[in-house]
Amino acid sequence: MKLKLEQNWIKIISWMAVAGWMAVIFYLSHQPAEESNALSSGITEMIIVFLKGILPDTELDLRELNYYVRKNAHFVAYFILSLLTMNAFGRSGVKGRKRIIRTMFICVLYAITDEIHQLFIPGRAGLVKDVFIDSLGAAAGAVVYTLGQRLLK
């Protein structure tokens, strides 16, 4: 009885982590273009300072590098969402291909709705390209999770 209760709490916490991460994605997507760009530019500037410390003679373009930072943020956000969703489905007893298919369905559907949401945010746009990048991140997360599970067994 105690084990069953603990398993239920773990399942609930796992799904709360999925919902929490979706809320983070929503919050970041809800920022107007100026705020979003300021955040990514700040991260890009930190990357440039770091790279200049390692490779002082390297010329880096803030605007170009910022574009890649923003696109990689899509990939990473959905990579994490996929890991969390794979875990939550596993804790809920969904295994194998069903877990991967359901995870991808949720991640891709959320990516689509997130891009639609951005259509209503000042200065933002909903881009099919971003849904594709999000989906690649989700697929990579599902693969890494699956391989990690197999290695642990």
Within a domain: residue 51? Answer: no
Q: How far apart are CA 46 and CA 57, in angstroms?
A: 17
Please check the confidence at residue 4 and state whether its pLDDT lies above 90.
no
Within a domain: residue 105? Answer: yes
Within a domain: residue 45? Answer: no
Q: Categorize the per-residue pLDDT at 1 as very low, low, confident or very high, splitting at 50, 70 and 90.
A: low
HSE, side-chain direction, 13 A CA sphere, residue 111: 29
Q: CB-based contacts of 128: which residues, under 8 Å, 6+ apart?
A: 115
Within a domain: residue 48? Answer: no
pTM: 0.90
Domain hosting residue 77, numbered range: 2-32+67-152
Within a domain: residue 43? Answer: no
Q: How far apart are CA 110 and CA 81, in angstroms?
A: 10
Within a domain: residue 80? Answer: yes
Q: What is the pLDDT of residues 57-112, one digit of tens each?
A: 888 887 888 888 889 999 999 999 999 999 999 999 999 999 999 999 999 999 99
Please check the confidence at residue 36 and state whether its pLDDT lies above 90.
no
Within a domain: residue 53? Answer: no
HSE, side-chain direction, 13 A CA sphere, residue 62: 9
Cα-Cα end-to-end distance for the chain: 26
Within a domain: residue 54? Answer: no
Q: How far apart are CA 148 and CA 7, in angstroms?
A: 21
Q: How many domains does the chain have?
A: 1
